[in-house]
Amino acid sequence: MVSMPRKTSPRSARSGFAVGSALALAGCGMLPALTQSPAPVAGERLAAPSRAAPAAVSEKAQDVVMFALGLVETGYRFGGKNPEAGLDCSGMVSYVFDKAAGLKLPGSAADIARRGKPVDAARLKPGDLVFFNTRNKSYSHVGIYIGDDRFVHAPNSAGKVRAESLKNGWFAARFEEARTYLN
């Protein structure tokens, strides 16, 4: 008897990807930490951080990262605040922090930036927020740092929620600042 491959729904495939990615990143509750290096100057590319011994990441931060990864491939919608309708960058961040950490972060990317605690870019930890100047306007874009110089964000109407590298030339040139709500 020949068995036919089981069809996988896009949602369950995303869930499997998210769980696998989160487990790979989490590695027994430990994620790579970054050592101190000079903060980037506005418009300057981020230098490759040197790695230190792994540091413990809070359970809330792990939840934020796993929840953000679970939204990869969710559609974009300007002003979107939930995955069913689509998400924009600040809507995605607000949704993740509400569901995964119980924190309300309403408003635009700039509003979210104003209320967070600054973090040196060389000391980014999973769950921190990264802000970009993408429209010649300070803090016009936000994403969630997931470790290994990568972040999850809702890019624009031409894309879906996805993970990107902070070293990507386009994002590196527009990186403004990192902030946290989890420390």
pLDDT digits (tens, 9 = 90+) for 28-68: 222 233 222 333 333 444 444 434 444 578 999 999 999 99
Nearest-angstrom CA–CA distance, 172 and 43: 8
Residue of 146, 150, 148 whose CA lies nearest to 172? 150
Residue 5 lies in a domain: no
- CA 163 and chain centroid, separation: 7
Kindly state whether residue 3 falls inside one of the protein's structural domains: no
> Which has the higher per-residue pLDDT, 136 or 5?
136
Contacts of 107 (CB under 8 A, 6+ apart): 90, 94
Asked if the structure places residue 119 within a domain, the reply is: yes
Q: What pLDDT does 5 receive?
A: 41
Residues above pLDDT 90, as percent of the chain? 63
Of 33, 108, 109, 95, nearest in space to 64 by CA: 95
Q: Is 113 a domain residue? A: yes
Upper half-sphere CA count for residue 122 (Cβ side, 13 Å): 13
Please report whether residue 6 resides in a domain.
no
Q: What's the structural domain count of the chain? A: 1
- Give 67's contacts (C-beta < 8 A, 6+ positions apart): 96, 99, 100
**Any idea what the CATH number is for the domain that residue 19 is in?**
3.90.1720.10
Domain that holds residue 142: 11-180
Residue 22: pLDDT band with limits 50, 70, 90: very low
pLDDT digits (tens, 9 = 90+) for 78-106: 999 999 999 999 999 999 999 999 999 98
Q: Report if residue 139 sits inside a domain.
A: yes
pLDDT confidence of residue 46: 44
pLDDT digits (tens, 9 = 90+) for 116-168: 999 999 999 999 999 999 989 999 999 999 999 999 999 988 889 999 999 98
Residue 55: the pLDDT is 56
Q: Is residue 86 part of a domain?
A: yes
pLDDT computed for residue 123 by the predictor? 94
Residue type, 169: G
Q: Where are any strands of DSSP class E within 33-180?
A: 55-56, 81-82, 86-87, 117-119, 129-132, 141-147, 150-153, 162-165, 175-180
Degrees, nearest 5: CA angle 124-106-165: 30
18 within domain boundaries: yes
Which residues participate in catalysis according to the annotation?
89, 141, 153
Note the pLDDT of residue 57. Answer: 85
Query: What pLDDT is attached to residue 28?
Result: 25
**Residues pairing with 119 in the sheet:** 178
